[in-house]
Amino acid sequence: MLKARIAVLVSGGGTNLQALMDAETSGKLASGQIVLVVSNVPGAYALERAKSRGIETLTLSRKALGGQEGFERALHEALTERGIDLIVLAGFLSILSAGFTSKWPDRIINIHPALIPSFCGKGFYGLHVHEAALAYGVKVTGATVHFVNEVPDGGRIIAQKAVCVRDGDTPEILQRRVMEEAEWVILPEAAEKVSKEIMEGRA
| Stretch of 22-30, 76-84, 89-97, 195-203 lying at the interface with ligand GAR (CB under 6 A) | 89-97
Nearest distance in Å: CB 12, ligand GAR: 4
The yes or no reply on residue 31 touching ligand GAR (CB under 6 A) is: no
Quote the Cα angle for 21-24-29, to 5°.
120
The yes or no reply on residue 49 touching ligand GAR (CB under 6 A) is: no
The yes or no reply on residue 91 touching ligand GAR (CB under 6 A) is: yes
Q: Kindly tell me which residue out of 100, 104, 125, 147 binds ligand GAR, with binding defined by CB under 6 A.
A: 125
Q: Closest CB to ligand GAR among 115 and 129?
A: 129
Which residue out of 112, 128, 130, 146 is catalytically annotated?
112
Cα–Cα dist 88/58, whole Å: 15
Cα–Cα dist 78/83, whole Å: 9
The yes or no reply on residue 70 touching ligand GAR (CB under 6 A) is: no
CB 109 within 8 A of CB 147: yes
CB 83 within 8 A of CB 50: no
Q: Kindly tell me which residue out of 183, 186, 188, 190 binds ligand GAR, with binding defined by CB under 6 A.
A: 183
Cα–Cα dist 140/81, whole Å: 42
In 3-state terms, what secondary structure has residue 76?
helix
Question: Restricting to residues 140-179, which ones interact with ligand GAR according to CB under 6 A?
Answer: 179
Active site residue 112: yes
Q: Closest CB to ligand GAR among 45 and 199?
A: 45
What residues form DSSP beta bridges with 59?
Answer: 39
In 3-state terms, what secondary structure has residue 147?
strand
In 3-state terms, what secondary structure has residue 198?
helix
- Report, as residue numbers or ranges, the catalytic residues: 112
Contacting positions for ligand GAR (CB under 6 A): 10, 12-16, 46, 90-91, 93, 111-113, 125-126, 129, 179, 183
